[in-house]
Chain A
Amino acid sequence: MASVLLEVEELKKYFPSGGGFLERSTGSVRAVDGISLKVYEGETLGIVGESGCGKSTLGRSILRLIEPTSGRVTFHGTDILKLRKSAMRDMRKEMQIVFQDPYASLNPRYTISQTLMEPMEIHQLYNHASRKQRVQSILERVGLDPSYASRFPHEFSGGQRQRIGIARALVLNPKLIILDEPVAALDVSVQSQVINLLEDLQADFGLTYIFVAHDLSVVKHISNRVLVMYLGKMAELASSDDLFFRPLHPYTRALLSAVPIPNPRVKRERIILSGDIPSPVNPPSGCVFHTRCPIAKDVCRQQVPEWRELRREHFVACHFAEDVDVETNSLPLGRR
């Protein structure tokens, strides 16, 4: 197997709770609550889970765009949470992020050229002439006409803006790119163009991706391995095929069974979860999923399930994953 590029250990990010006038102002929002994972060089690790489960907070904490509360992040052997500001800035050359809404993340008063030049200027890379050249070649590489360099973000469509966001992430030649819902705002025809582009860039530049999304079909398509999160915690982690065809966590099964499949002849057993996700301010005791879990028992309310490797490279946090395993043949992914 490839070498480990990034290792995250027991990462936590607690936000002070806003304490609206109806809530008790004590306590904190446990947005990310003990995540440990490895990302291997050249792979795509998908992260899925419902909104508010902590996907974006995890991505931002890894890059220290927000400071984690505790834990360790090791990138290429360096514990980056210990780095000082300037050393961290150097490190960021290697780790970039692309956001869902490219428009919000692009400076409206900068031309595309200025947007792409800026990171190279900050890091004092290349001379002016080669920076210019680099802008041209990267624009071309992401499928944009290099003559667009002098235009402003508002002159572009959503798909083109996302290409610009990707170009900006690429300009420093990073090893790792965190893609936070990069295609969620795009229509399907454009979404597929961007997904193909990301796959090509990964192959050409040997990139490693963390791909955050709530669209399970997209994550399944692009990921080698997938992490399922629930309320800031890890529910399940496995290879894409294992996770989607042999899921072990009842939450994963419910999530998969909820995805509408574009095939009117497929009839599936749907596991409808009752209610909404509980608040991360007062997460449920024991297993955080027990309030919505169709197979929860007493032990689930009392004891936090252990994170265990039930099958090779297939991790799950559920007291009854073995029972789920037995039923695996009647799976949510109804095969024809």
Chain B
Amino acid sequence: MASVLDVQSLSVEFQVNGRYLPAVTNVSLTIEQGETLGLVGESGCGKSVTSLAITRLLSKTARVNGKVLFSGPDPAQRNPVPSSGPEEVSARNVRERELLTVRDKDMQDIRGNEISMIFQEPMTSLNPVYKIGSQISETLLLHQNISPRQAFSQSLEMLKKVGISRPEQIMHQYPHQLSGGMRQRVMIAIAMACNPRLLIADEPTTALDVTIQAQILELMKGITRDFGTSLLLITHDLGVVAEMCNRVAVMYAGEIVEQGSVDEVFFNAKHPYTVGLMNAIPKFDATSKERLQPIEGNVPSIARMPKGCRFAPRCPHVMKQCVEQHPDLFEVENGHQSRCWLSVEGEA
């Protein structure tokens, strides 16, 4: 069966002062059913732009290339009323579509229905003048052939599923009356209302306190487990990746520089940027105080991408070849890739 999401050589350039600048270059990734893929990297590395390109939410100044293959339920065979459990998705009723070329109307149908998104700041995606109940109902009414009354009771069910206490009351409240953690739960309720195959969460817990983050991560884990939803989890926090993800893709300066199973990448990291990230964070469970090992310098601006390896100016292992030649993503081991000349077989 095809992957739920199969992104092939995705590139995004932004037109700035008449020039096209590369924000995302040649990104390829796949997500299987029920799998959680982490997309990790520092700010400005292209994580959000990648997710916005996949969902076609980028502005007109963006030039997008590549393929985004999405396998979802065949619209012709989709059950109008969702079953309560994980949706039966067998090879028979799945259809693969290329999202960059489907019609706008079809894309609107897919968004919020088969692919849902949640963002760091729920306040920007919730409408301040509508009550919580109507915001969830609206999503249901938009995508499903049900009555407002059914939509209302399904909305209430969703609030219960995401662990909101006093759901009847919350249905009648406005977003600003809720705490940050509650709003993020409401966002998840809206995102999951139509039982999507793919959930894209862009830094969903970055603005929350750790105790609330723990609640939300627990909730998202439960959702992927119980509904078989695939999750693209964007984060800058390696701890969140270790806790949540099956596989991880590390982004640097618009490119994936390392990709593999979480275990492989954490215990057998090959790319100097990945290694650098791990050494730069304080070890929470260390008893002795070791000095942190920073990565010197800064992430390059998209207007000044280095020619060879984009990490070369900051890399402690830089060689002549790195400055001159741009490295491919080399296969290190089955399913583990690294974009580094030192990862070429025999040189590691």
B256-312 CB contacts (< 8 Å) to partner A: 262-263, 266-267, 276-278, 280-285, 287, 289, 291-296, 298-299
Bound Cα distance A142, B236 (Å): 26
Which residue in A192, A214, A259 is a CB contact (below 8 Å) of B280? A192
A241 interface contact, C-beta 8 A: yes
Which residue from chain B places its CB closest to the CB of A260 in the assembled complex?
B239
Complex CA gap A262/B265 in Å reads 11
Q: Smallest Cβ distance from A238 to chain B, in angstroms?
A: 15
| From B165, B213, B267, B294, residue with most partner A Cβ within 10 Å | B294
- Judged by a CB distance under 8 angstroms, whether B109 is at the interface is no
Does A129 reach chain B (CB closer than 8 Å)? no
Interface size class of B (residues with CB under 8 A): 35 or more
User: Residue-by-residue, is A220-231 near B (CB-CB < 8 Å gives 1, otherwise 0)?
Assistant: 111000000000
A276 contacts B212, CB within 8 Å? yes
Cβ of B86 < 8 Å from any Cβ of A?
no
Q: A191-B280, A262-B238 are in contact. Are A50 and B285 (CB under 8 A)?
A: no
Say yes or no for A144: interface residue by CB 8 A criterion.
no
B interface residues (Cβ-Cβ under 8 A, vs A): 42-43, 165, 177, 179, 181-182, 209-215, 217-218, 236-243, 262-263, 266-267, 276-278, 280-285, 287, 289, 291-296, 298-299
In whole angstroms, what is the CA distance A193 to B295 when docked? Answer: 8
Q: Contact between B243 and A260 (Cβ–Cβ < 8 Å)?
A: yes
> Please, which residues of chain B bring their CB within 8 A of the CB of A191?
280
| Chain B residues within an 8 Å CB radius of A25 | none
Chain A contacts with B in 238-257, Cβ cutoff 8 A? 241, 244-245, 254-255, 257
Q: Residue A88 at the B interface, CB < 8 A?
A: no
Per the CB 8 Å criterion, the residue count for chain A at the interface is 47
Chain B residues near A221 (CB-CB < 8 A): 282-283, 289, 292
8 extra interface residue pairs, beta carbon distance < 8 Å, beyond A189-B295, A261-B239: A188-B277, A191-B280, A195-B292, A217-B281, A221-B283, A262-B284, A273-B215, A276-B182
A258 to B285, CA, bound (A): 13
- Complex contacts, A333 vs chain B, CB 8 Å: 284-285
**A132 within 8 A of partner (CB):** no
Residues of A within 8 A of B262 (CB): 264
B287, A245: Cβ atoms closer than 8 Å: yes
State how many angstroms separate the Cβ of A222 from the closest Cβ of chain B: 8
Query: Contact between B211 and A258 (Cβ–Cβ < 8 Å)?
Result: yes
Closest 9 CB pairs between A and B? A260-B239, A221-B282, A189-B295, A192-B294, A258-B214, A262-B238, A187-B42, A192-B292, A192-B280
Decide: A265 near B263, CB < 8 A? Known: A214-B210, A254-B211, A334-B285.
yes
Given contacts A189-B294, A221-B289, contact A255 B211 (CB under 8 A): yes
Query: B298 to A216, Cβ gap below 8 A?
Result: no
| Closest CB in chain A relative to B202 CB, distance in Å | 16
Interface residues of A (CB under 8 A from B): 22, 50-51, 157, 159, 187-193, 195-196, 199, 214, 216-218, 220-222, 241, 244-245, 254-255, 257-266, 270, 272-276, 333-336
* Residues of A contacting B285 in the complex (Cβ-Cβ under 8 angstroms): 261, 263, 266, 333-336
Bound CA–CA A192/B282 (angstroms): 8
Write 11 A-B pairs (CB below 8 A) sorted by A numbering.
Answer: A50-B210, A192-B282, A216-B210, A220-B284, A221-B289, A254-B211, A262-B278, A264-B262, A264-B263, A264-B266, A272-B215
Q: Out of A216, A258, A260, which one reaches B237, CB within 8 Å?
A: A260
Closest to A224 in B: B289
With A and B bound together, what is the CA distance between A188 and B276 in angstroms? 10
Q: Are A262 and B266 in contact (CB under 8 A)?
A: yes
On whether the beta carbons of A50 and B209 are closer than 8 Å, the reply is yes
In contact, A258 and B287 (Cβ under 8 angstroms): no
Q: How far is the CA of A255 from the CA of B218 in the complex (A)?
A: 15
What's the least CB distance linking A330 to chain B, in Å? 15
User: Cα distance A276–B241 when bound, in Å?
Assistant: 24
How far is the CB of A60 from the nearest CB of chain B, in Å? 20
- Chain A, residue nearest B241 (CB): A262
Q: Is the CB of A196 within 8 A of B214?
A: no
Contacts of B217 in A (CB 8 A): 260
Please name all residues of chain A whose beta carbon is closer than 8 Å to the beta carbon of B291 when the two chains form the complex. Answer: 196, 199
Q: Is the CB of B236 within 8 A of A187?
A: yes
Query: What is the minimal beta-carbon distance from B186 to any residue of chain A, in angstroms?
Result: 14
- Complex interface: chain B residues within 8 A of A275 (CB): 165
CB-nearest residue of chain A to B297 = A189
Give Cα A199–Cα B293 distance, bound, in whole angstroms.
13
> How close is B138's CB to chain A, nearest CB, in angstroms?
25
Verify B299–A262 contact, CB threshold 8 A: no
Is there an interface contact between A260 and B240, defined as CB atoms closer than 8 Å?
Answer: yes
Q: Whose C-beta in chain A lies nearest to the C-beta of B179? A: A276
A218 and B182 CA atoms in complex are apart in Å by: 27
Bound CA span A260–B215, Å: 12
Residue of A nearest to B314 (CB): A189
Q: A192-B281, A263-B242, A276-B181 are in contact. Are A50 and B287 (CB under 8 A)?
A: no
Chain B residue numbers with a CB within 8 Å of A334 are: 285
A264→B213 CA distance, assembly (Å)? 18
Task: Give Cα distance in the complex from A245 to B212, angstroms.
Answer: 22
Minimal Cβ-Cβ distance residue in B for A190: B298
Q: Give the residue name and chain of the A residue nearest to B276 (CB).
A: A189
| A193 close to B294 (CB less than 8 A) | yes
Contact partners of A195 in chain B: CB under 8 A: 282, 292
> Given A157-B298, A187-B43, A264-B263, do A218 and B211 touch, yes or no (CB 8 Å)?
no
